[in-house]
Amino acid sequence: MCRFDKLKGAGWLMKKGLVLIVVGHVNFIFGAIVHGSVLRHISKPSDQITTEYTVANIISVTSGLLSIASGIIAILVSRNLTNAKLHVGLLVSAFLNALFSAACCVGLLLAISLTISGDGQVLMRGCKMTDVPINARAPVSVDCPFDTTRIYDTTLALWFPMALFSALESGLSVWCFVVGLTLRGLGPCGQSYIKEQVN
């Protein structure tokens, strides 16, 4: 990181910004699919709010949008290494995105573990209850406002890559944050020769 220079550093920053934009879009789309197919039916079933799913989805969508914004700012900084306002924008957006992406990853891992430990029973809260305990893995026909076929597998198949992408977003955001500190001459990598190179 401390080897950031005017020529190679700008190219690396642009590449990281592009990756943040792509990963942010993918995570946003995955979050929208999960919410549209499952979570909108269970986020408030019978006035029982499933907080872990609602919070994880909201943070996931916010994280995706912040990743896109951070990627755009990183690309702008890579083209304007001397602009102090863009440095501050990169610092703020990268810091917030690192926090939200880490929280998203933790929230998704919590939602995954709760879903697996309960055999998807929480995913069926929007269905009309019967005397038989309902879970997403049992072949019991129930009245649900959504299609129950493969709901468990589909949700988990989307949550696992979302958690992985959130961890990637967090790591890239930390990298961009350190670059922002370096460009401002702050932190352990903020030696004077870096400022002399970009000025």
Q: For 119-156, how does the pLDDT look when each residue is reduced to its tens digit (9 = 90+)? A: 777 666 666 665 545 555 555 556 666 666 667 777 88
Residue 175 pLDDT greater than 70, yes or no: yes
Please report which confidence band the pLDDT of residue 87 belongs to, taking 50, 70 and 90 as the band edges: confident
pLDDT mean over 61-88: 88
Q: Which long-range contacts (CB under 8 A, 24 or more apart) does 127-130 make?
A: none
In a domain, 2, yes or no: no
Q: Regarding predicted confidence, which is higher, 10 or 23?
A: 23
Give the pLDDT score at 172.
Answer: 92
Give the pLDDT score at 97.
Answer: 93
Q: Regarding predicted confidence, which is higher, 89 or 53?
A: 89
Structural domain span for residue 65: 8-198
Dist CA 173 CA 34 (whole Å): 24
In a domain, 138, yes or no: yes
Give CA separation, 146 vs 111, 126, 142, 150, 158, in Å. Answer: 20, 8, 10, 11, 17
CA neighbor of 5 nearest in space, from 188, 187, 199: 199
DSSP string for residues in 104-125: HHHHHHHHHHHHHHTTTTGGGT
Instruction: State phi, psi for 3 to the nearest 5 degrees.
Output: -90, 15
Give CA separation, 58 vs 14, 54, 112, in Å. Answer: 28, 6, 16
- What is the overall mean pLDDT for the chain? 77
Residue 44 pLDDT greater than 60, yes or no: no
Dist CA 134 CA 122 (whole Å): 9
Give the pLDDT score at 75.
Answer: 92
Residue type, 101: S
In a domain, 60, yes or no: yes
Residue 174 pLDDT greater than 80, yes or no: yes
* Range scoring the smallest mean pLDDT among 4-13, 75-84, 110-119: 4-13
In a domain, 186, yes or no: yes
This model's pTM is above 0.85: no
In a domain, 1, yes or no: no
Q: How many domains does the chain have?
A: 1
Q: Regarding predicted confidence, which is higher, 17 or 127?
A: 17
Dist CA 78 CA 181 (whole Å): 14
